[in-house]
Amino acid sequence: MRDTSAEFMNTALSAPERASALVAEMTVHEKAFQLTMAAPWLYVHADGSPAANAARQADRPVGFICNFGVDDPQVMADTVSRVQRFALEQTRLGIPLLFQAEALSGFLTGGHMVFPTPTGLAATFSPDLVEEMTDLIRRQMRRLGVLHALSPNLDLGMDPRWGRVHETFGEDPYLTASMGVSFVRGLQSGNLSEGIIATAKHFIGYSAPEGGSNLAAFEGGPRRIRDLHAFAFEAAIHDAGLASVMNSYSDVDGVPAAASRAVLTDLLRETLGFEGFVSADYGTIEQIVDRQRAATTPGEAGRLAINAGLDTEFPVPFGFGEALAAEVEAGRVSPDVLDLAAHRILSAKFAVGLFERPYPAETINVAAIADEGVDLSHELARRSVVLLENDGVLPLDGGASIAVIGPHAANVVNQYATYSYPAFRDMMVHMSSGGMGNMIGVDPAMAEWNRDVFTTGPGDAYVRDHLHTRTLGEAISGRAGSVVVEAGCGLVEDLSDEDFARAVEAAAASDVAVLALGGASLWFNGARTEGEGSDSTDISLPAPQRRLAEAVAATGTPVVVVLTQGRAYVLPEAVRNAEALIVASFGGPFGAEAVTEVLFGDVNPSGKLPYSIPRTVGQIPVYHHQRNGTGFQKPLPPDVTHHFLDTPATPLYAFGEGRSYTSFQLVPVEAPAELAVDGVAELVVDASNTGSVDGATVVQLYGSITSSGVTRPGQQLLGFVRVELAAGQTRRVTFRIHGRQLGYTAADGTFCVDPGQMTLWTSLDAFSKADRFTVKVTGDRLPQASGERVFHSDVTVA
């Protein structure tokens, strides 16, 4: 039990000073377990009674409790309180536990609002609303005593074969950094004692595995790692004070990231200046032995990991805990290395105020929690809808007869992606009934405990009853006089011939057919096209959906295609030739409502694609910031093609693309002739709504830089701003570009800003033609340490 007079309880000391005092009082065994985790059911049953072997945990004083969720927030708070009380009262030093939860699409427990999946958040180009969202999540998590968020995901979603693209903010490092910094700021607050610990993942290169296959090796040189994949992490470290980073499962240059000192210490700490603690992805150290075969025993794997700079092991002790204590006692791991990891964890616990406020609020207003974030989730869903094609069929006429057809027409669950609570809940329900999963690190023992904590049935009932979610067919039926809803096919499987025929006949008999196609993100136990461990070699829309689209198109009825997806799909001709095309993310409770509001013109669409959509899988990878001389970025003479024999090299739809029911125009006003390496220059553009409908667009600033001896991206996003414009209105947008934004790894390995030549332009997407301005970058080479960089331009709208 904690001694309240101990030096580490002196609040006049700093968090690191208190951590040092506490580490000095701990045994090797206690320090080795402080880096590890346990599950709540090892302490208590779901009804609150003590678990049979709970007393054993007093001798295994872990530092963390794993992510878990229950339907009732009061039950969640009570569980946290009971387990925390055990740690404070039954362990020798009474060190409080740090409870974890995912937060990508909201606080991952029941009773709380769910938000669109991150690619949907990215499509809004609204980092201010993302920060508002995570500020709410911060308050919700603190209320329940859960102070460690395993979010955001700062991987770059450049390969749509990889099933976890929807967890990212898309393909662009600048947009990812902007969203990531806002995400972390909202979670951690300006003062961590009022915030929660954010964890950026997965360091490094996890989203670019060989073949797009989850967990596979990442092949990238130090320049690509530093300049591209590390950019968003570095921005979050310096612009948001990022407190934790999670390792990648992949190996980097042949060494598991979790066992790589080059990755976790040399790059993350010494180069990027990270000072927090490294959170292990679940099962990481065990995989060093079982999957990657880079160690043969738990002790060896633990030794490699802690010496590399991995500070924790989740979700159960394998290479840390007893195995790590034995390594220290045998002299194979320095006590100083163990002390350093324990110090990092304890410093974070002191900084977040855990020792002074270890418990949740005693009484939880469940009804009030359910109302939190409703308007915000709805607005984010609205802004995430992307209109790619419209030949005049939209907005729809409420008096028209409409057939809503396809696998998303009457499906409510597929509005929710993995790492949202409904998807997590479905996984647990499945495991509780004896099923197994493909999510790394999930303890099957959780299944028995969870049988008692879920208060309603399967996911369909939960999202309807608790989140009031409607299907697209239901939402449209509330707006039009004559609506027929037919699936026609399943997500990845054919239905009966009669089902298919009914859908096609409904389309033929209607004024308009809304073809609801796309994907689904699930961990397992259901048809899916995306999600963790659900990768694809063929990213075409599934064959049953293609056949349905072709049959509906053949009826001659005007077709509006709505694609619900978290990553790009290769689109068949029947979809490409539709009269209108909308891309929506897994939008959560208001996904279908938001699409319906766009369809009928209640909302003027303003979403922009956060990733490129390829013409064919053979183009992959295709992203807008490919290097000069690569992919479609080949400035060759006009008579020399840089296309494939069978398709153009450019994507079908570009990053940043998205239409509106009005029209916009950008007119340059002022452009700089020079930019000093340590200076600031302004580019000014007038953005006008030249149509008759109020709307919003995203003004995007791009640049292309020439450097001696190094191939740079053909274009880089250097700034953006979402601008609201009334019909006929013009507003002035000013970008202030910093020379310190232009840092890169030079040919000699120096990270610096070099003098040279740069081209700047503004556009409404990555590929529209625009006036371009040549800017001379002046001065001497400016070497840059990580903390000396500027990551974003400043933007004002007048």
Amino acid at 725: L
Question: 709: exposed, middle or buried (C-beta count within 10 Å: 0-12, 13-18, 19+)?
Answer: exposed
Reduced 3-state DSSP string for 697-736: EEEEEEEEEEECCECCECCEEEEEEEEEECCCCEEEEEEE
| From-to residues of CATH 3.40.50.1700 in the chain | 385-610
Q: Give the full edge-to-edge strand order of the sheet including 716-725.
A: 674-676, 773-778, 756-763, 695-706, 716-725
Q: Six-digit token pair at 361?
A: 């609020």
Per-residue model confidence as pLDDT tens digits over 339-353: 999 999 999 999 999
Q: Pick from 85, 40, 31, 86: which is nearest to 63 by CA?
A: 31
Collapsed DSSP state (helix, strand, coil) of residue 630: strand
pLDDT single digits (tens) 483-526? 999 999 999 999 999 999 999 999 999 999 999 999 999 887 78
| Percentage of the chain lying above the pLDDT 90 cut | 88
Superfamily of domain 664-797: Immunoglobulins (2.60.40.10)
Q: What is the pLDDT confidence band of residue 648, given thresholds at 50, 70 and 90?
A: confident
d(C-alpha 99, C-alpha 77), whole Å: 11
444: pLDDT strictly greater than 70:
no
Strands 773-778 and 756-763: antiparallel
For the stretch 337-354, what's the b/e string if a residue is b when 16 or more beta carbons lie within 10 angstroms of its beta carbon? bbbebbbbbbbbbbbbbb
- CA–CA dist 117, 586 (Å, integer): 6
* pLDDT exceeds cutoff 70 at 434: no
What is the pLDDT confidence band of residue 401, given thresholds at 50, 70 and 90? very high
E strands present in 358-507: 386-390, 401-405, 482-486
- Beta-carbon count within 10 A of 422 CB: 25
Dist. CA 566–CA 564, nearest whole Å = 7
Closest CA to 652 of 552, 558, 575: 575
Write out pLDDT tens, residues 95-117: 999 999 999 999 999 999 999 99
Phi, psi of 95 (to 5 degrees): -80, 125
Confidence check: pLDDT of 636 > 70: no
- What would the DSSP string read from start to end of 596-625? HHHHTTSS------SS-B-SSGGG-S--TT
The tens digit of pLDDT for each residue in 129-168 reads: 999 999 999 999 999 999 999 999 999 999 999 999 999 9
427: amino acid identity, one letter: M
The DSSP bridge pattern shows strands 580-584 and 674-676 to be unpaired
Helices (DSSP H) in 256-386: which residue ranges? 261, 284-290, 298-308, 322-329, 335-351, 366-371, 374-384
* Structural element, H or E, at residue 278: strand 277-279
Average pLDDT over residues 530-535: 92
**Which candidate, 619, 623, 511, 613, places its Cα nearest to that of 572?**
613
pLDDT band at 3 (very low <50, low <70, confident <90, very high): confident
Q: For domain 7-366, is the CATH number 3.20.20.300?
A: yes
What's the DSSP call for residue 661?
S
Q: Which of 125, 127, 119 is nearest to 153 (CA)?
A: 119
Residue span(s) of the chain under CATH 3.20.20.300 come to: 7-366
* 451 pLDDT more than 60: yes
| 302: helix, strand or coil | helix
Cβ count within 10 A of residue 591: 32
pLDDT band at residue 457, thresholds of 50, 70 and 90? low
Q: Coil, strand, or helix at residue 789?
A: coil
- 118: enclosing H helix or E strand: helix 118-123
> Which CATH class, in words, describes the domain spanning 385-610?
alpha beta
Q: Is the pTM of this model over 0.85?
A: yes
Q: Give the residue-averaged pLDDT of 248-254.
A: 96
Rounded distance between C-alpha atoms, residue 146 and residue 149, angstroms: 8
State how far the alpha carbon of 441 is from the alpha carbons of 316, 446, 526, in Å: 9, 11, 20
Handedness of CA 399, 405, 411, 414 (dihedral sign): negative
Residues of the chain with CATH 2.60.40.10: 664-797
Evaluate if residue 46 carries a pLDDT over 90. no
The rounded percent of the chain whose pLDDT value lies above 70 is 96
Cα torsion for 177, 179, 185, 187, to the nearest 10°? -120
| CA–CA distances in Å: residue 355 to residues 22, 277, 358, 542 | 12, 18, 6, 52
- According to the model, what pLDDT value does residue 708 have? 86
Q: For the purposes of burial, counting CB atoms within 10 Å of the CB of 537, is it exposed (0-12), middle (13-18) or buried (19 or more)?
A: exposed
Residue 246 burial class via C-beta count within 10 angstroms: exposed 0-12, middle 13-18, buried 19 and up? buried
437 φ, ψ (degrees, to nearest 5): -130, 175
Q: How far is CA 396 from CA 399, 476, 650, 726, in A?
A: 9, 10, 32, 22
pLDDT average, residue stretch 679-685: 98
- How far apart CA 580 and CA 392 sit, in angstroms, is 8
Per the structure block, which two tokens stand in for 469? Answer: 């979610």
Q: What number of other Cβ atoms are within 10 A of residue 692's Cβ? A: 10
Selected residue with higher pLDDT from 1 and 597: 597
pLDDT at res. 459: 76
Per mean pLDDT, which range of 286-290, 435-439, 620-624, 716-720 is the poorest? 435-439
- The per-residue pLDDT of the chain, averaged, comes to 95
Query: Could you tell me whether strands 401-405 and 482-486 are parallel, antiparallel, or unpaired per DSSP bridges?
Result: parallel
- Report CA 44 to chain centroid distance, whole Å: 32
